Structure 1
Amino acid sequence: MKTPSFVSVHGGHSGQFCHHATDTLEEIIQLYIAKKFPWVGITEHAPAISEELLYPDQKAAGLTPEFLFNRFANYMKECRRLQQKYSADIRIFAAMEIETYSGYERFVPFLLKTFQPDYIVGSVHFVGDMGFDYSQEQYDKTVAAAGGIVPLYCQYFDQQYAMIKLLTPSVVGHFDLIRLFDSGYKKRLLQPEIMERIERNLQLIAELDLIMDFNLRSLLKDADEPYISRVILDMARQMNIAVVPGDDSHGLSSVGANMEKWVTFLAEQGFDTNWKEPKLISY
Protein backbone atom coordinates (compact mmCIF):
# COMPACT_ATOMS: atom_id res chain seq x y z
CA MET A 1 0.00 0.00 0.00
CA LYS A 2 1.25 3.47 -0.90
CA THR A 3 2.33 5.48 2.13
CA PRO A 4 -0.10 8.40 2.56
CA SER A 5 1.33 11.88 2.20
CA PHE A 6 1.24 14.39 5.04
CA VAL A 7 -1.04 17.38 4.59
CA SER A 8 -2.63 19.88 6.96
CA VAL A 9 -6.05 21.32 6.31
CA HIS A 10 -5.84 23.52 9.42
CA GLY A 11 -2.60 25.03 10.66
CA GLY A 12 0.19 27.47 10.03
CA HIS A 13 -0.52 29.91 12.88
CA SER A 14 2.65 31.94 13.32
CA GLY A 15 4.10 34.34 15.85
CA GLN A 16 3.95 37.05 13.19
CA PHE A 17 0.17 37.01 13.05
CA CYS A 18 -1.08 35.14 16.14
CA HIS A 19 -0.41 36.27 19.71
CA HIS A 20 -0.24 32.71 21.11
CA ALA A 21 1.98 31.28 18.36
CA THR A 22 5.72 31.50 17.60
CA ASP A 23 8.12 31.83 14.65
CA THR A 24 7.60 33.48 11.27
CA LEU A 25 5.17 32.28 8.65
CA GLU A 26 7.95 31.83 6.10
CA GLU A 27 9.93 29.64 8.51
CA ILE A 28 6.84 27.52 9.06
CA ILE A 29 6.24 27.17 5.29
CA GLN A 30 9.87 26.15 4.82
CA LEU A 31 9.45 23.40 7.41
CA TYR A 32 6.31 22.08 5.69
CA ILE A 33 8.38 21.89 2.52
CA ALA A 34 11.24 20.12 4.32
CA LYS A 35 8.72 17.61 5.69
CA LYS A 36 7.49 17.02 2.11
CA PHE A 37 3.92 18.20 2.51
CA PRO A 38 2.43 18.43 -1.01
CA TRP A 39 -0.08 21.04 0.20
CA VAL A 40 -1.01 22.91 3.35
CA GLY A 41 -3.83 25.16 4.48
CA ILE A 42 -2.61 28.24 6.35
CA THR A 43 -5.63 29.13 8.44
CA GLU A 44 -4.90 32.16 10.60
CA HIS A 45 -7.53 33.26 13.12
CA ALA A 46 -9.97 35.89 11.96
CA PRO A 47 -9.63 39.23 13.77
CA ALA A 48 -11.88 39.81 16.77
CA ILE A 49 -15.14 41.67 16.26
CA SER A 50 -15.02 43.63 19.56
CA GLU A 51 -12.91 44.26 22.63
CA GLU A 52 -15.30 42.17 24.74
CA LEU A 53 -14.47 39.11 22.62
CA LEU A 54 -10.70 39.37 22.82
CA TYR A 55 -8.87 36.50 24.50
CA PRO A 56 -7.42 37.18 27.97
CA ASP A 57 -3.85 37.17 26.67
CA GLN A 58 -4.79 39.60 23.90
CA LYS A 59 -6.35 41.96 26.43
CA ALA A 60 -3.30 41.68 28.69
CA ALA A 61 -1.05 42.60 25.75
CA GLY A 62 -3.16 45.66 24.98
CA LEU A 63 -4.26 44.41 21.56
CA THR A 64 -7.34 45.94 19.96
CA PRO A 65 -9.78 44.77 17.26
CA GLU A 66 -8.33 47.46 14.97
CA PHE A 67 -4.80 46.14 15.48
CA LEU A 68 -5.94 42.57 14.82
CA PHE A 69 -7.79 43.60 11.67
CA ASN A 70 -4.70 45.33 10.29
CA ARG A 71 -2.50 42.40 11.28
CA PHE A 72 -4.82 40.01 9.48
CA ALA A 73 -4.55 42.17 6.35
CA ASN A 74 -0.76 41.82 6.61
CA TYR A 75 -1.17 38.07 7.08
CA MET A 76 -3.14 37.71 3.87
CA LYS A 77 -0.59 39.81 1.98
CA GLU A 78 2.31 37.73 3.31
CA CYS A 79 0.55 34.43 2.74
CA ARG A 80 -0.15 35.37 -0.89
CA ARG A 81 3.52 36.33 -1.31
CA LEU A 82 4.68 32.99 0.05
CA GLN A 83 2.08 31.19 -2.05
CA GLN A 84 3.80 32.57 -5.14
CA LYS A 85 7.38 32.29 -3.87
CA TYR A 86 7.11 28.60 -3.00
CA SER A 87 4.64 27.51 -5.69
CA ALA A 88 7.18 25.09 -7.18
CA ASP A 89 7.69 23.36 -3.81
CA ILE A 90 4.27 23.21 -2.14
CA ARG A 91 0.68 24.21 -2.77
CA ILE A 92 -0.31 26.79 -0.17
CA PHE A 93 -3.91 27.72 0.58
CA ALA A 94 -4.24 31.21 2.09
CA ALA A 95 -7.21 30.60 4.35
CA MET A 96 -8.95 31.85 7.48
CA GLU A 97 -10.28 30.25 10.67
CA ILE A 98 -13.52 31.97 11.64
CA GLU A 99 -15.25 32.47 14.98
CA THR A 100 -18.93 32.20 15.90
CA TYR A 101 -20.09 34.86 18.31
CA SER A 102 -22.67 37.65 18.30
CA GLY A 103 -22.52 39.43 14.98
CA TYR A 104 -20.51 36.78 13.11
CA GLU A 105 -23.37 36.31 10.63
CA ARG A 106 -22.52 39.75 9.20
CA PHE A 107 -18.87 40.05 10.21
CA VAL A 108 -17.62 36.87 8.53
CA PRO A 109 -19.14 37.74 5.11
CA PHE A 110 -17.55 41.19 5.48
CA LEU A 111 -14.15 39.57 6.14
CA LEU A 112 -14.60 37.25 3.18
CA LYS A 113 -15.38 40.14 0.87
CA THR A 114 -12.49 42.20 2.23
CA PHE A 115 -9.74 39.58 2.27
CA GLN A 116 -10.95 36.89 -0.17
CA PRO A 117 -9.31 33.85 1.46
CA ASP A 118 -9.07 30.59 -0.46
CA TYR A 119 -11.37 28.87 2.04
CA ILE A 120 -12.57 29.07 5.62
CA VAL A 121 -12.32 26.73 8.58
CA GLY A 122 -15.56 26.88 10.55
CA SER A 123 -14.67 26.75 14.24
CA VAL A 124 -16.47 27.39 17.52
CA HIS A 125 -14.43 28.79 20.42
CA PHE A 126 -17.20 30.73 22.16
CA VAL A 127 -20.57 29.67 23.55
CA GLY A 128 -22.95 32.44 24.58
CA ASP A 129 -20.12 34.87 23.77
CA MET A 130 -17.95 33.24 26.45
CA GLY A 131 -14.69 31.55 25.53
CA PHE A 132 -14.06 28.02 26.75
CA ASP A 133 -10.69 26.89 25.35
CA TYR A 134 -8.25 29.26 27.06
CA SER A 135 -8.03 27.68 30.51
CA GLN A 136 -9.80 25.35 32.93
CA GLU A 137 -10.98 28.40 34.89
CA GLN A 138 -12.50 29.96 31.78
CA TYR A 139 -14.11 26.64 30.83
CA ASP A 140 -15.67 26.27 34.27
CA LYS A 141 -17.13 29.79 34.12
CA THR A 142 -18.67 29.06 30.74
CA VAL A 143 -20.10 25.77 32.03
CA ALA A 144 -21.72 27.66 34.91
CA ALA A 145 -23.15 30.31 32.60
CA ALA A 146 -24.60 27.63 30.32
CA GLY A 147 -26.36 25.96 33.24
CA GLY A 148 -24.16 22.88 33.38
CA ILE A 149 -21.82 20.85 31.24
CA VAL A 150 -24.50 18.98 29.28
CA PRO A 151 -26.28 22.23 28.32
CA LEU A 152 -22.86 23.64 27.33
CA TYR A 153 -22.26 20.72 24.95
CA CYS A 154 -25.76 21.09 23.52
CA GLN A 155 -25.34 24.82 22.96
CA TYR A 156 -21.94 24.23 21.36
CA PHE A 157 -23.26 21.72 18.84
CA ASP A 158 -26.35 23.86 18.14
CA GLN A 159 -24.11 26.85 17.45
CA GLN A 160 -21.89 24.71 15.24
CA TYR A 161 -24.90 23.49 13.27
CA ALA A 162 -26.16 27.03 12.69
CA MET A 163 -22.69 28.15 11.55
CA ILE A 164 -22.31 25.25 9.10
CA LYS A 165 -25.78 25.86 7.67
CA LEU A 166 -25.19 29.59 7.28
CA LEU A 167 -21.62 29.69 5.96
CA THR A 168 -20.92 26.21 4.49
CA PRO A 169 -17.24 26.29 5.52
CA SER A 170 -15.06 24.07 3.35
CA VAL A 171 -13.54 22.64 6.54
CA VAL A 172 -15.23 22.07 9.91
CA GLY A 173 -12.55 22.71 12.51
CA HIS A 174 -11.87 20.48 15.54
CA PHE A 175 -15.46 19.23 15.63
CA ASP A 176 -15.55 18.31 19.34
CA LEU A 177 -13.30 21.00 20.81
CA ILE A 178 -15.88 21.46 23.57
CA ARG A 179 -14.47 18.38 25.29
CA LEU A 180 -11.12 20.15 25.90
CA PHE A 181 -11.31 20.54 29.69
CA ASP A 182 -13.81 17.75 30.37
CA SER A 183 -12.08 14.62 31.69
CA GLY A 184 -15.35 12.70 31.38
CA TYR A 185 -16.00 13.57 27.75
CA LYS A 186 -15.97 10.01 26.39
CA LYS A 187 -19.11 9.15 28.36
CA ARG A 188 -20.54 12.65 27.96
CA LEU A 189 -20.57 12.41 24.17
CA LEU A 190 -22.82 9.35 24.40
CA GLN A 191 -25.58 11.10 26.33
CA PRO A 192 -28.70 11.10 24.13
CA GLU A 193 -29.27 14.86 23.95
CA ILE A 194 -25.63 15.37 22.94
CA MET A 195 -25.36 12.42 20.59
CA GLU A 196 -28.49 13.39 18.67
CA ARG A 197 -26.90 16.79 17.97
CA ILE A 198 -23.63 15.19 16.89
CA GLU A 199 -25.46 12.93 14.46
CA ARG A 200 -27.50 15.85 13.12
CA ASN A 201 -24.36 17.92 12.52
CA LEU A 202 -22.57 15.03 10.83
CA GLN A 203 -25.52 14.48 8.52
CA LEU A 204 -25.36 18.13 7.48
CA ILE A 205 -21.61 17.90 6.87
CA ALA A 206 -22.19 14.81 4.72
CA GLU A 207 -25.00 16.49 2.75
CA LEU A 208 -22.83 19.54 2.05
CA ASP A 209 -19.76 17.39 1.21
CA LEU A 210 -17.51 19.24 3.64
CA ILE A 211 -14.17 18.19 5.13
CA MET A 212 -13.75 17.38 8.81
CA ASP A 213 -10.48 18.49 10.38
CA PHE A 214 -8.74 15.55 12.11
CA ASN A 215 -7.04 17.93 14.50
CA LEU A 216 -3.85 16.73 16.16
CA ARG A 217 -3.30 19.65 18.52
CA SER A 218 -5.10 17.92 21.38
CA LEU A 219 -2.21 15.45 21.53
CA LEU A 220 0.12 18.29 22.55
CA LYS A 221 -2.18 18.93 25.53
CA ASP A 222 -1.93 15.40 26.92
CA ALA A 223 -5.06 14.01 25.22
CA ASP A 224 -4.98 10.38 24.11
CA GLU A 225 -6.83 11.00 20.83
CA PRO A 226 -7.21 13.86 18.36
CA TYR A 227 -10.30 15.91 17.79
CA ILE A 228 -12.36 14.01 16.33
CA SER A 229 -13.05 11.52 19.17
CA ARG A 230 -13.17 7.88 18.15
CA VAL A 231 -16.94 7.44 18.53
CA ILE A 232 -17.56 10.44 16.25
CA LEU A 233 -14.84 9.37 13.84
CA ASP A 234 -16.52 5.99 13.39
CA MET A 235 -19.80 7.74 12.59
CA ALA A 236 -18.06 10.00 10.06
CA ARG A 237 -16.56 6.99 8.30
CA GLN A 238 -19.94 5.29 8.07
CA MET A 239 -21.34 8.48 6.48
CA ASN A 240 -18.44 8.66 3.99
CA ILE A 241 -17.37 12.07 5.26
CA ALA A 242 -13.92 13.21 4.18
CA VAL A 243 -11.60 13.40 7.19
CA VAL A 244 -8.29 15.17 6.58
CA PRO A 245 -5.45 15.74 9.06
CA GLY A 246 -4.76 19.18 10.48
CA ASP A 247 -1.73 19.77 12.68
CA ASP A 248 -3.16 23.10 13.95
CA SER A 249 0.47 24.17 14.19
CA HIS A 250 1.33 27.25 16.23
CA GLY A 251 5.03 27.37 15.45
CA LEU A 252 7.91 25.24 14.21
CA SER A 253 7.69 22.82 17.12
CA SER A 254 4.20 21.68 16.13
CA VAL A 255 4.49 21.54 12.33
CA GLY A 256 3.52 17.98 11.43
CA ALA A 257 3.58 16.89 15.08
CA ASN A 258 2.17 13.36 15.60
CA MET A 259 1.29 13.20 11.90
CA GLU A 260 2.86 9.84 11.01
CA LYS A 261 1.04 7.81 13.68
CA TRP A 262 -2.37 9.30 13.08
CA VAL A 263 -2.23 9.37 9.28
CA THR A 264 -1.46 5.66 9.50
CA PHE A 265 -4.39 5.28 11.89
CA LEU A 266 -6.79 6.93 9.43
CA ALA A 267 -5.57 4.63 6.67
CA GLU A 268 -6.05 1.56 8.88
CA GLN A 269 -9.58 2.72 9.73
CA GLY A 270 -10.49 2.78 6.05
CA PHE A 271 -10.47 6.52 5.36
CA ASP A 272 -9.49 7.75 1.91
CA THR A 273 -5.93 9.05 2.18
CA ASN A 274 -6.00 10.60 -1.27
CA TRP A 275 -6.78 13.67 0.77
CA LYS A 276 -9.73 15.75 -0.35
CA GLU A 277 -8.65 19.34 -0.93
CA PRO A 278 -10.71 22.27 0.38
CA LYS A 279 -13.15 23.83 -2.05
CA LEU A 280 -11.93 27.24 -3.11
CA ILE A 281 -14.34 30.12 -2.59
CA SER A 282 -15.47 31.90 -5.77
CA TYR A 283 -15.67 35.67 -5.57
Structure 2
Amino acid sequence: MANAKYVSVHGGHSGEFCHHAKDQLEKIILSYINHGFSWVGITEHVPGFSQELLYPDQQEAGFTPEFLLERFDRYMQKCKQLQVKYADQIKIYAAMEIETYTDYDSFIPALITRFKPDYIVGSVHYVDDLGFDYSKQQYDNTAEAIGGYDELYCRYFDIQYNMIKTLQPAVVGHFDLIRIFDEDYPTRLMKPEIMKRIVRNLELIKELDLIMDFNLRSLLKGATEPYISGPILKIAREMDIAVVPGDDSHGLANIQINMDQAIATLAEYGFSTNWQQPKVITYE
Protein backbone atom coordinates (compact mmCIF):
# COMPACT_ATOMS: atom_id res chain seq x y z
CA MET A 1 0.00 0.00 0.00
CA ALA A 2 2.87 2.37 0.78
CA ASN A 3 3.83 2.25 -2.90
CA ALA A 4 0.32 2.79 -4.22
CA LYS A 5 0.19 5.68 -6.65
CA TYR A 6 -2.42 8.41 -6.66
CA VAL A 7 -4.81 8.04 -9.59
CA SER A 8 -8.39 9.06 -10.32
CA VAL A 9 -10.54 7.06 -12.68
CA HIS A 10 -13.37 9.60 -12.40
CA GLY A 11 -12.53 13.23 -11.77
CA GLY A 12 -11.57 16.64 -13.04
CA HIS A 13 -14.92 18.42 -13.25
CA SER A 14 -14.11 22.12 -13.56
CA GLY A 15 -16.02 25.37 -13.21
CA GLU A 16 -14.94 26.13 -16.74
CA PHE A 17 -17.14 23.36 -18.13
CA CYS A 18 -19.47 22.33 -15.28
CA HIS A 19 -21.92 24.68 -13.57
CA HIS A 20 -21.71 22.98 -10.16
CA ALA A 21 -17.89 22.81 -10.13
CA LYS A 22 -15.17 25.42 -9.62
CA ASP A 23 -11.83 26.53 -11.08
CA GLN A 24 -10.15 26.29 -14.46
CA LEU A 25 -9.38 22.92 -16.01
CA GLU A 26 -5.69 23.63 -16.56
CA LYS A 27 -5.24 24.61 -12.91
CA ILE A 28 -6.93 21.36 -11.92
CA ILE A 29 -4.52 19.40 -14.14
CA LEU A 30 -1.59 21.21 -12.54
CA SER A 31 -2.92 20.35 -9.10
CA TYR A 32 -3.08 16.65 -10.01
CA ILE A 33 0.54 16.93 -11.15
CA ASN A 34 1.61 18.73 -7.97
CA HIS A 35 -0.08 16.08 -5.83
CA GLY A 36 1.86 13.36 -7.62
CA PHE A 37 -0.93 11.65 -9.54
CA SER A 38 0.42 9.24 -12.15
CA TRP A 39 -2.76 9.32 -14.25
CA VAL A 40 -6.20 10.86 -14.15
CA GLY A 41 -9.42 10.56 -16.09
CA ILE A 42 -11.01 13.93 -16.77
CA THR A 43 -14.66 12.89 -17.01
CA GLU A 44 -16.86 15.90 -17.64
CA HIS A 45 -20.64 15.45 -17.74
CA VAL A 46 -22.23 15.07 -21.15
CA PRO A 47 -24.69 17.81 -22.12
CA GLY A 48 -28.41 17.34 -21.55
CA PHE A 49 -30.32 17.13 -24.82
CA SER A 50 -33.66 18.64 -23.74
CA GLN A 51 -34.63 21.51 -21.49
CA GLU A 52 -36.64 19.22 -19.19
CA LEU A 53 -33.60 17.03 -18.51
CA LEU A 54 -31.29 19.82 -17.40
CA TYR A 55 -30.41 20.03 -13.74
CA PRO A 56 -32.38 22.62 -11.72
CA ASP A 57 -29.33 24.86 -11.33
CA GLN A 58 -28.71 24.73 -15.08
CA GLN A 59 -32.30 25.73 -15.76
CA GLU A 60 -32.08 28.56 -13.22
CA ALA A 61 -28.91 29.80 -14.95
CA GLY A 62 -30.77 29.95 -18.25
CA PHE A 63 -28.71 27.25 -19.94
CA THR A 64 -30.00 25.52 -23.05
CA PRO A 65 -29.09 22.14 -24.58
CA GLU A 66 -27.46 24.03 -27.44
CA PHE A 67 -25.23 25.98 -25.06
CA LEU A 68 -24.27 22.84 -23.14
CA LEU A 69 -23.37 21.00 -26.34
CA GLU A 70 -21.20 23.89 -27.47
CA ARG A 71 -19.52 24.04 -24.05
CA PHE A 72 -18.89 20.30 -24.12
CA ASP A 73 -17.26 20.71 -27.52
CA ARG A 74 -14.92 23.30 -25.99
CA TYR A 75 -14.23 20.94 -23.08
CA MET A 76 -13.12 18.07 -25.31
CA GLN A 77 -10.89 20.36 -27.36
CA LYS A 78 -9.30 21.88 -24.25
CA CYS A 79 -8.84 18.55 -22.49
CA LYS A 80 -7.12 17.00 -25.51
CA GLN A 81 -4.84 20.05 -25.80
CA LEU A 82 -3.85 19.71 -22.12
CA GLN A 83 -3.39 15.97 -22.61
CA VAL A 84 -0.62 16.75 -25.10
CA LYS A 85 0.77 19.75 -23.22
CA TYR A 86 1.40 17.83 -19.99
CA ALA A 87 2.08 14.38 -21.46
CA ASP A 88 5.59 14.29 -19.98
CA GLN A 89 4.26 14.98 -16.45
CA ILE A 90 0.99 13.02 -16.17
CA LYS A 91 -1.13 10.67 -18.21
CA ILE A 92 -4.45 12.38 -18.90
CA TYR A 93 -7.50 10.61 -20.26
CA ALA A 94 -9.95 12.91 -22.06
CA ALA A 95 -13.15 11.15 -21.07
CA MET A 96 -16.80 11.83 -20.34
CA GLU A 97 -19.47 10.87 -17.82
CA ILE A 98 -22.75 9.81 -19.37
CA GLU A 99 -26.43 10.00 -18.42
CA THR A 100 -29.21 7.43 -18.86
CA TYR A 101 -32.34 9.33 -19.72
CA THR A 102 -34.69 8.48 -22.58
CA ASP A 103 -32.87 7.74 -25.86
CA TYR A 104 -29.42 7.72 -24.22
CA ASP A 105 -28.72 4.53 -26.17
CA SER A 106 -28.65 6.58 -29.37
CA PHE A 107 -27.62 9.99 -27.98
CA ILE A 108 -24.48 8.77 -26.16
CA PRO A 109 -23.11 6.77 -29.13
CA ALA A 110 -23.62 9.88 -31.27
CA LEU A 111 -21.57 11.91 -28.79
CA ILE A 112 -18.87 9.23 -28.75
CA THR A 113 -18.68 9.29 -32.54
CA ARG A 114 -18.50 13.08 -32.61
CA PHE A 115 -16.07 13.76 -29.74
CA LYS A 116 -14.03 10.54 -29.59
CA PRO A 117 -13.41 10.38 -25.85
CA ASP A 118 -10.74 8.04 -24.52
CA TYR A 119 -13.38 6.28 -22.45
CA ILE A 120 -16.75 6.81 -20.81
CA VAL A 121 -17.87 6.62 -17.20
CA GLY A 122 -21.25 4.90 -17.06
CA SER A 123 -23.28 6.72 -14.42
CA VAL A 124 -26.96 6.83 -13.55
CA HIS A 125 -28.37 10.14 -12.26
CA TYR A 126 -31.92 9.75 -13.60
CA VAL A 127 -34.57 7.11 -12.96
CA ASP A 128 -37.30 7.16 -15.61
CA ASP A 129 -36.15 10.67 -16.59
CA LEU A 130 -36.46 11.91 -13.00
CA GLY A 131 -33.34 13.20 -11.26
CA PHE A 132 -32.62 12.00 -7.74
CA ASP A 133 -29.20 13.28 -6.64
CA TYR A 134 -29.68 17.06 -6.70
CA SER A 135 -31.41 17.45 -3.33
CA LYS A 136 -33.23 15.48 -0.65
CA GLN A 137 -36.52 16.95 -1.83
CA GLN A 138 -35.86 15.85 -5.40
CA TYR A 139 -34.87 12.39 -4.15
CA ASP A 140 -38.04 12.01 -2.13
CA ASN A 141 -40.22 13.30 -4.96
CA THR A 142 -38.69 10.85 -7.41
CA ALA A 143 -39.06 7.95 -4.98
CA GLU A 144 -42.75 8.80 -4.54
CA ALA A 145 -43.27 9.00 -8.31
CA ILE A 146 -41.54 5.64 -8.85
CA GLY A 147 -43.55 3.88 -6.15
CA GLY A 148 -41.39 4.06 -3.04
CA TYR A 149 -37.75 3.79 -2.03
CA ASP A 150 -37.43 0.05 -2.63
CA GLU A 151 -38.83 0.42 -6.13
CA LEU A 152 -36.51 3.38 -6.73
CA TYR A 153 -33.51 1.20 -5.92
CA CYS A 154 -34.78 -1.63 -8.13
CA ARG A 155 -35.38 0.68 -11.08
CA TYR A 156 -31.97 2.29 -10.58
CA PHE A 157 -30.13 -1.01 -10.71
CA ASP A 158 -32.23 -2.20 -13.67
CA ILE A 159 -31.37 0.97 -15.59
CA GLN A 160 -27.73 0.57 -14.60
CA TYR A 161 -27.70 -3.02 -15.84
CA ASN A 162 -29.14 -2.05 -19.21
CA MET A 163 -26.67 0.82 -19.51
CA ILE A 164 -23.70 -1.45 -18.76
CA LYS A 165 -24.93 -4.08 -21.21
CA THR A 166 -25.67 -1.54 -23.95
CA LEU A 167 -22.64 0.77 -23.70
CA GLN A 168 -20.02 -1.35 -21.91
CA PRO A 169 -18.41 1.71 -20.28
CA ALA A 170 -14.78 1.28 -19.29
CA VAL A 171 -15.69 2.61 -15.84
CA VAL A 172 -18.92 2.17 -13.89
CA GLY A 173 -19.40 5.37 -11.90
CA HIS A 174 -20.44 5.55 -8.22
CA PHE A 175 -22.19 2.18 -8.38
CA ASP A 176 -24.62 2.73 -5.48
CA LEU A 177 -25.28 6.46 -5.86
CA ILE A 178 -28.97 5.70 -5.36
CA ARG A 179 -28.37 5.65 -1.61
CA ILE A 180 -27.31 9.30 -1.58
CA PHE A 181 -30.17 10.66 0.56
CA ASP A 182 -31.32 7.42 2.19
CA GLU A 183 -30.36 7.05 5.85
CA ASP A 184 -31.66 3.48 5.80
CA TYR A 185 -29.49 2.35 2.91
CA PRO A 186 -27.47 -0.27 4.87
CA THR A 187 -30.70 -2.18 5.52
CA ARG A 188 -32.29 -1.46 2.16
CA LEU A 189 -29.31 -2.67 0.13
CA MET A 190 -29.67 -6.07 1.80
CA LYS A 191 -33.29 -6.58 0.77
CA PRO A 192 -33.48 -9.65 -1.52
CA GLU A 193 -35.06 -7.90 -4.53
CA ILE A 194 -32.40 -5.19 -4.39
CA MET A 195 -29.41 -7.40 -3.58
CA LYS A 196 -30.15 -9.81 -6.40
CA ARG A 197 -29.97 -6.87 -8.82
CA ILE A 198 -26.70 -5.71 -7.30
CA VAL A 199 -25.16 -9.17 -7.71
CA ARG A 200 -26.50 -9.43 -11.26
CA ASN A 201 -24.91 -6.09 -12.17
CA LEU A 202 -21.60 -7.04 -10.56
CA GLU A 203 -21.56 -10.30 -12.51
CA LEU A 204 -21.96 -8.34 -15.75
CA ILE A 205 -19.19 -5.92 -14.76
CA LYS A 206 -16.91 -8.89 -14.12
CA GLU A 207 -17.89 -10.59 -17.38
CA LEU A 208 -17.04 -7.44 -19.35
CA ASP A 209 -13.86 -6.75 -17.32
CA LEU A 210 -14.88 -3.19 -16.45
CA ILE A 211 -13.54 -0.98 -13.67
CA MET A 212 -15.67 0.13 -10.74
CA ASP A 213 -15.16 3.68 -9.52
CA PHE A 214 -14.44 3.86 -5.76
CA ASN A 215 -15.98 7.29 -5.58
CA LEU A 216 -14.84 9.59 -2.77
CA ARG A 217 -17.25 12.49 -3.26
CA SER A 218 -19.73 11.16 -0.71
CA LEU A 219 -17.12 11.69 2.03
CA LEU A 220 -17.02 15.41 1.24
CA LYS A 221 -20.78 15.53 1.82
CA GLY A 222 -20.65 13.91 5.25
CA ALA A 223 -21.19 10.25 4.37
CA THR A 224 -19.36 7.60 6.38
CA GLU A 225 -18.18 5.61 3.36
CA PRO A 226 -17.54 6.13 -0.34
CA TYR A 227 -19.61 4.76 -3.16
CA ILE A 228 -19.15 1.62 -3.17
CA SER A 229 -20.53 0.67 0.27
CA GLY A 230 -18.79 -2.03 2.30
CA PRO A 231 -21.07 -5.03 1.64
CA ILE A 232 -21.02 -4.41 -2.12
CA LEU A 233 -17.28 -3.83 -2.03
CA LYS A 234 -16.84 -7.22 -0.35
CA ILE A 235 -18.80 -8.98 -3.11
CA ALA A 236 -16.82 -7.13 -5.79
CA ARG A 237 -13.60 -8.34 -4.19
CA GLU A 238 -14.85 -11.92 -4.07
CA MET A 239 -15.62 -11.64 -7.80
CA ASP A 240 -12.15 -10.20 -8.44
CA ILE A 241 -13.52 -7.03 -10.02
CA ALA A 242 -11.10 -4.12 -10.50
CA VAL A 243 -11.95 -1.21 -8.19
CA VAL A 244 -10.01 2.04 -8.63
CA PRO A 245 -10.23 5.35 -6.72
CA GLY A 246 -12.11 8.23 -8.29
CA ASP A 247 -12.02 11.57 -6.50
CA ASP A 248 -14.95 12.93 -8.55
CA SER A 249 -13.30 16.28 -7.96
CA HIS A 250 -15.33 19.41 -8.64
CA GLY A 251 -12.54 21.92 -8.09
CA LEU A 252 -9.07 22.40 -6.66
CA ALA A 253 -10.25 21.94 -3.08
CA ASN A 254 -11.28 18.32 -3.74
CA ILE A 255 -8.11 16.95 -5.30
CA GLN A 256 -6.25 14.30 -3.25
CA ILE A 257 -8.69 14.73 -0.34
CA ASN A 258 -9.46 11.33 1.26
CA MET A 259 -7.27 9.54 -1.30
CA ASP A 260 -5.03 7.96 1.34
CA GLN A 261 -8.12 6.69 3.16
CA ALA A 262 -9.46 5.21 -0.08
CA ILE A 263 -6.22 3.42 -0.86
CA ALA A 264 -6.05 2.04 2.69
CA THR A 265 -9.65 0.80 2.51
CA LEU A 266 -9.17 -0.94 -0.81
CA ALA A 267 -5.94 -2.55 0.40
CA GLU A 268 -7.72 -3.71 3.56
CA TYR A 269 -10.38 -5.43 1.46
CA GLY A 270 -7.66 -7.12 -0.56
CA PHE A 271 -7.86 -5.18 -3.81
CA SER A 272 -4.73 -4.68 -5.87
CA THR A 273 -3.36 -1.16 -5.66
CA ASN A 274 -1.49 -1.70 -8.91
CA TRP A 275 -4.39 0.15 -10.46
CA GLN A 276 -6.00 -1.18 -13.63
CA GLN A 277 -6.26 1.54 -16.25
CA PRO A 278 -9.40 2.10 -18.32
CA LYS A 279 -9.74 0.46 -21.70
CA VAL A 280 -9.35 3.21 -24.27
CA ILE A 281 -11.89 3.27 -27.09
CA THR A 282 -10.34 2.58 -30.47
CA TYR A 283 -11.51 4.55 -33.50
CA GLU A 284 -11.12 3.79 -37.17
Q: TM-score, normalised by structure 1?
A: 0.99
> What are the residue-to-residue correspondences of 1:9-28 with 2, within 5 Å?
9-28=9-28
Structure 1 stretches (4+) deviating beyond 3 angstroms? none
Q: Which moved more, 1:197-206 or 1:254-263?
A: 254-263
Alignment-derived partner of residue 149 in structure 1: 149
Alignment partners' CA distance in 1, 2:184 and 2:190: 11
2:235 corresponds to 1:235: yes
Alignment partners' CA distance in 2, 1:260 and 1:278: 21
- The amino acid that maps onto 2:131 is G
Alignment-derived partner of residue 225 in structure 1: 225
Alignment partners' CA distance in 2, 1:268 and 1:102: 39
Alignment partners' CA distance in 2, 1:49 and 1:174: 23
3-state DSSP of counterpart to 1:7: strand
Quick check: 1:18–1:44 contact (8 Å CA) kept in 2? yes
Quick check: 1:4–1:264 contact (8 Å CA) kept in 2? no
Give the deviation of 1:2 after TM superposition.
4.3
Alignment-derived partner of residue 102 in structure 1: 102
- The amino acid that maps onto 2:234 is D
Give the deviation of 1:80 after TM superposition.
0.5
Alignment partners' CA distance in 2, 1:123 and 1:90: 25
> What are the residue-to-residue correspondences of 1:203-222 with 2, within 5 Å?
203-222=203-222
Alignment partners' CA distance in 2, 1:178 and 1:265: 21
Alignment-derived partner of residue 61 in structure 1: 61
2:186 corresponds to 1:186: yes
Alignment-derived partner of residue 72 in structure 1: 72
3-state DSSP of counterpart to 2:264: helix
Alignment partners' CA distance in 2, 1:277 and 1:260: 19
Alignment partners' CA distance in 1, 2:70 and 2:256: 29
> What are the residue-to-residue correspondences of 1:1-283 with 2, within 5 Å?
2-283=2-283
Percent identity of equivalent pairs? 65
3-state DSSP of counterpart to 1:265: helix
Alignment partners' CA distance in 2, 1:62 and 1:197: 38
CA-to-partner distance for each residue in 1:63-114, whole Å, 9 max, x for gaps? Answer: 0000000000000000011001100100000000000000101000000000
CA-to-partner distance for each residue in 1:18-39, whole Å, 9 max, x for gaps? Answer: 0000000000000000000000
3-state DSSP of counterpart to 2:73: helix
Alignment partners' CA distance in 2, 1:144 and 1:59: 23
Quick check: 1:174–1:227 contact (8 Å CA) kept in 2? yes
Listed as ranges, the gaps of 5+ residues in structure 1 are none
Q: TM-score, normalised by structure 2?
A: 0.99
Give the deviation of 1:3 after TM superposition.
2.1
RMSD between aligned alpha carbons?
0.6
Quick check: 1:125–1:133 contact (8 Å CA) kept in 2? yes
3-state DSSP of counterpart to 2:47: coil
Quick check: 1:42–1:96 contact (8 Å CA) kept in 2? yes
CA-to-partner distance for each residue in 1:120-149, whole Å, 9 max, x for gaps? Answer: 000000001000000000001100011000
Alignment partners' CA distance in 2, 1:262 and 1:163: 26
- The amino acid that maps onto 2:123 is S
Alignment partners' CA distance in 2, 1:87 and 1:37: 13
Give the deviation of 1:264 after TM superposition.
1.4
CA-to-partner distance for each residue in 1:184-232, whole Å, 9 max, x for gaps? Answer: 0000000000000000000000000000000000001100000000000
3-state DSSP of counterpart to 2:9: strand
- The amino acid that maps onto 1:272 is S
3-state DSSP of counterpart to 1:271: coil
Alignment partners' CA distance in 2, 1:270 and 1:196: 23
